[in-house]
């Protein structure tokens, strides 16, 4: 069974994007994937001062140590991002930046959202080179949801035309990420990563 970590990063009080994160976790679980939501607000790492690797073994804060283990054990990652002023969410970026080598040699996918019609795609574009620089292979399929309030209800259930479009897009998105996760796992099992 593939292990997928779904990262979500809004710290706002009235979070709409959590609907997309919950929807994606539920849909991946229905496909037999061990999908787990990692909510940056719940993990609550401090603003980056020292990366995980900069702590002596056993001295990292407990939340950071736990998350490092989950990242190392995962087969793939999914970043659910809103768009803040044409850029990435600071909470999600801060959480991600605490780690480096832990991300290496696994695929990542990006799902973006916004309250408007542009669906957070500018944030998705900003995430792509960031994740690649951190050692992940970013899959070509993406999901972009907007306006999110007209696409997913408060229970993260698809509604209206936007919900229908999301349902249609999900399978290809999930198939793409699963293919790369399988390919990366087989390669890691056969050949040690070069660094």
Quick check: is 52 in a domain?
Answer: yes
Its pTM stands at 0.97
The stretch 125-142 carries a mean pLDDT of 97
Tens digit of each residue's pLDDT (9 = 90 or more) over 149-166: 999 999 999 999 999 999
Quick check: is 184 in a domain?
Answer: yes
For the chain, the domain total comes to 1
Task: Kindly tell me if the per-residue pLDDT of 195 is higher than 90.
Answer: no
Residue 150 belongs to what domain range?
A: 3-190
Quick check: is 19 in a domain?
Answer: yes
Task: Kindly tell me if the per-residue pLDDT of 86 is higher than 90.
Answer: no
The alpha-helical segments, DSSP class H, found in the chain are 18-30, 40-43, 62-73, 90-97, 121-133, 160-190
Quick check: is 76 in a domain?
Answer: yes
Quick check: is 195 in a domain?
Answer: no
Residue 125: CATH number of its domain = 3.40.50.360
Query: CA–CA separation, 82 vs 80, rounded Å?
Result: 7
Tens digit of each residue's pLDDT (9 = 90 or more) over 52-85: 999 999 999 999 999 999 999 999 999 999 998 8
Quick check: is 32 in a domain?
Answer: yes
Task: Kindly tell me if the per-residue pLDDT of 23 is higher than 90.
Answer: yes
Q: Are 36 and 109 spatial neighbours (Cβ–Cβ below 8 Å)?
A: no
Quick check: is 80 in a domain?
Answer: yes
Quick check: is 117 in a domain?
Answer: yes
């Amino acid at each position: 069974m593939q292990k997928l970590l779904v990262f979500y990063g809004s710290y706002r009080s009235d979070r709409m994007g959590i609907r997309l994160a919950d929807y994606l976790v539920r849909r991946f679980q229905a496909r037999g994937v061990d999908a787990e939501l990692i909510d940056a607000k719940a993990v609550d790492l401090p603003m980056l001062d020292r990366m995980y690797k900069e702590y002596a073994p056993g001295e990292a804060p407990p939340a950071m140590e736990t998350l490092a283990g989950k990242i190392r054990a995962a087969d793939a990652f999914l970043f659910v991002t809103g768009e803040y002023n044409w850029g990435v969410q600071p909470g999600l970026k801060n959480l991600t930046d605490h780690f480096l080598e832990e991300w290496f040699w696994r695929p990542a996918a990006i799902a973006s959202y916004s309250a408007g019609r542009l669906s957070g795609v500018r944030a998705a574009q900003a995430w792509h080179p960031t994740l690649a620089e951190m050692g992940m292979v970013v899959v070509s399929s993406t999901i972009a949801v907007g306006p999110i309030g007209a696409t997913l209800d408060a229970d993260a259930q698809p509604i209206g035309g936007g919900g229908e479009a999301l349902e249609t897009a999900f399978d290809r998105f999930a198939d793409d990420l699963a293919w790369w996760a399988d390919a990366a796992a087989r390669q890691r099992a056969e050949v040690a990563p070069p660094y």
